A and B are shown apart, each in its own frame.
Chain A
Amino acid sequence: MTDLTVTEAAAGATALKRRRPAARTRRRHRGLNGRSLAVLVFLTMCALFFCVPLYVVLTTSLKTMEEIRQGQIFALPDTWTLEAWRFAWNEACSGITCEGLKVGFWNSVRILVPSLILSISLAMVTGYALALWEVKWAGTFLFLLFLCAFVPLQIIMFPLIAITRSMGVYGTILGVAVVHAVMSMPVLTLIFRNYYKDIPAEIMNAAIMDSGSFWRIFGEIILPMSGNILIVVLILQITNVWNDYLIGVTFGGYNTQPMTVNLANMVTVSTGTASYNVDMAAALLTAIPPLVVYFLVGKFFVAGITAGAIKG
C-alpha cells in the first residue's frame, strides 16, 4: 500500500508540473501546524491498525509451537524457522488430503488464467463495439449491464449451479473460471466502454475510411491504445479472483478448490491441536500473489486510472 501512495504522489507531481512553483512557495510557509499534526496522528493510527496484526502474523509464522504456547504474541522469535511455511505449503491437511496449500495455489492459478483471458477479451471487444460502433439497442444493453453489475452472486447462485451442472462443468476448474468471468463481465465491459468512449470520433472515422474492418481496427488501432486500462483491469481482476471465496467454495469440487478455500479448510477443520504458526504461514502464502502483482505493476495502475486513451 505504501508503494501505491508514493507512486500516486509522483504521478500527481508530474501531472501538476505547471502548477508546481506556486505549490512549492506555499509549502515553504507552512510549518507543522495543528491541522497537519491531526492528519499525522490519524495516519499513524491507521498504520498501526494494519501493521500490528501483520507483525503478529509474520512473527508467529516464524516461531515454533513451543514458543507460541508461552503466549507472548508481541515477542520476536527466539529461534527463527521457516518450518511452518514449509509445512503449510507441502503437508498441511485440508479435509482428508494432506498435501498442503500448494494444491490450492495451483488450482487458483489454473482458475485465474482462463477467467482472466475469457473475461478481459470478451469485455474488451464488447466495450469497443458499444463505444465506437453503431450497435442496435446499445443504450438498453448498457442499462442492463449496469443493472447486472449490481446483482449479488447469492441471488443467482442456485440457477448458476444448475446451469453449470447441465453444461457439465460444475465442480471443475473451468467451471469456477467461467463463473468468475461471467460475474465480472458487466463491470469490465462498462470500464472498457467508458475508456473507449473518450477516443475521438474523428480517429474512428479515419480508421473506418482507411479500413472499415471491425477486427483490423481493433487489433491495429484500438488495442495498442488500451495499455493503461488493461493494467487497471488486470490488477482488479487478479485481486478479485484470487481473493474470492464464495465462488470457489460453491462451484469448486473436491480437489479443484482455490487456495482461499484450501486455507479456510486448513485453519478450521484441522484435527488435534491448532498449529498457529502453520495457520499464519498459510494465510501469508495466500495473500502473497496479489501483493506481488501490486509491487510489480502498481505504479502503472495509478497512471492507468488517471490517464485517458490519448496521450499528448
Chain B
Amino acid sequence: MPSVHFEHIVKAYGAVTVLDDLNLSVDDGDFLVLLGPSGCGKTTLLNMLAGLTDVTDGRIMIGERDVTDLDPKDRGLAMVFQSYALYPTKTVRGNLKFGLSAAKLPREEVRRRVEWAAQVLQIEPLMDRRPSQLSGGQRQRVAIGRALVKHADVLLFDEPLSNLDAKLRTEMRLEIKRLHDELNPTVVYVTHDQIEAMTMATKIAVMNGGVIQQFGTPDEIYETPANLFVASFIGAPAMNLKAARVTKRDGRVAGVFDGGQTIALDDYRFRATPEEGRPIVVGMRPEHFAPPGAPLDAAAATLDLPLQHTERTGSDATGYLKFDDGLLALRVEPGHAARLRAGETVRVGFPRGKANLFDAASGERL
C-alpha cells in the first residue's frame, strides 16, 4: 500500500485562493482523517487527490508516482461519497460491477470480487435491489462495497457518515475501522465530526481556513493542541479557555486569571520561559478537574465558584460554573451531579501539569 504526499499544493477558484502552499504526507496503511469545520477546504483537497478537481500549483504523489495530471481512473483510488452517489438505475450488483467491467477485468474475476465485497459488507440479500429500495445505512454499505471491489491501494471517504442517524453512525464507524484493520489500505477520510476523527484515525490533520493547523496522532492532537483553534475544536464538552497573565512568585511561574484567581504553572513545559505580565490563555479540559468535594492537596488551582446548571449526557454529566463573565465546564459523576443545586458554591481543583497554555496574541501553544 502506497503513501500519499501533497507537496506545496495551491488551489484557487478564480481570484479566491482556497488552499495555499499546503504540505501533507500520509504513510502507507495510515488512516488519515482530515478534520475541520465546513468550508475549510477538506473536500477540495480530497477531490484534488482523486483527480476530480484540478491542482492550481504543486504536486501530488502516490507512492513514487506523480499523479498530479493523471486521469482519476488511472490513479488507483476508490472513493466513497457523502451522498453515496449510487447509480440510480443500476441494481446493487450493477453498481459494484460498473467500475470493474469498465476496467475490462475478466468476467470471472468481476464475479469473484463482487461476491467477496457483498460478503464482507453483508449485503448479499440486497444484490438485486435498486438504490431507491435501500435504507440509508444499506446504501452506505453498497457505496463502500463499490469502493472495495476495486482493490484500490488508497481509499477516500468524504463525510460518508454525515447522512446517517446517530446509532447507524456508530455502527458504520466500527465497520469502517474493522475494514481498515483487516484490509489495511491507506485511507484518507474527511469529516467535520471530531468523534469520528478521534475514534478511527491513526493520524489527524486539523484544518481551518485552508491551512493545516496541526498534524499528529489523535492523542497528540488531544493532549497537546498546537494552537487555540485546535484546542477549542477538539473535545466535547470543549476545553475551557480562560484569559490570564503570567506572574512570577518566589521564582515560580503562575497565571492570574482576570477575576484574580491564580493557577500554578511551574511544571508546565514552556518552549521559552515567558516574561512577566504576558497575556496568555489557559486551557483546562473539563475531565481533568478534581470532582467537587474531592481532596485538593497539590492542585494547581483551587476555585470556589457558583454552579449555574448541570447537564446529563448518558454516562457522563457536565457541571457549568460561573467564572468571571463566562462559564467553566467540568465533568462530574452523574450520581453526584443529581445532588448539586444551582446557585450553590462548589470548590473544584485543577491538577498540576494538565493545563494547556497559549499566547493570547498569536494563539500558538507556549
Contact = CB atoms under 8 A, between A and B. Distances in A.
B268 interface: no
A209 B79 contact: yes
Contacts of B133: 312
Given A208-B73, A209-B78, A224-B89, 18 more contacts: A202-B84, A202-B85, A203-B85, A205-B50, A205-B79, A205-B85, A206-B86, A210-B99, A210-B146, A211-B73, A211-B98, A213-B102, A216-B102, A220-B98, A221-B87, A224-B90, A311-B88, A311-B132
B116 interface: no
Contact residues of A: prevailing secondary structure: helix
Interface string B54-91: 00000000000000000111100111011111111110
B73 A210 contact: yes
A142 interface: no
A207 interface: yes
B83 A210 contact: no
Nearest to B52: A205
Tell which of B52, B78, B90, B131 has the most Cβ of chain A within 10 Å: B52
Contacts of B103: 211
A213 B84 CA distance: 21
Interface in A215-258: 216, 220-221, 224-225
Contact of B73 (A209, A225, A309): A209
A53 interface: no
24 contacts: A200-B83, A200-B85, A202-B82, A202-B84, A205-B47, A205-B52, A206-B81, A206-B85, A206-B87, A206-B146, A209-B50, A209-B51, A209-B52, A209-B72, A210-B146, A211-B103, A212-B71, A212-B73, A213-B102, A221-B90, A225-B88, A311-B132, A312-B131, A312-B132
B164 to A, nearest CB: 16
Interface residues of B, number: 29
A209 B50 CA distance: 8
A211 B72 CA distance: 9
A310 interface: yes
Contacts, number: 73
Interface string A161-195: 00000000000000000000000000000000000
A62 to B, nearest CB: 48
Given A211-B73, A211-B99, A211-B102, A221 B89 contact: yes
A299 B211 CA distance: 54
A138 to B, nearest CB: 16
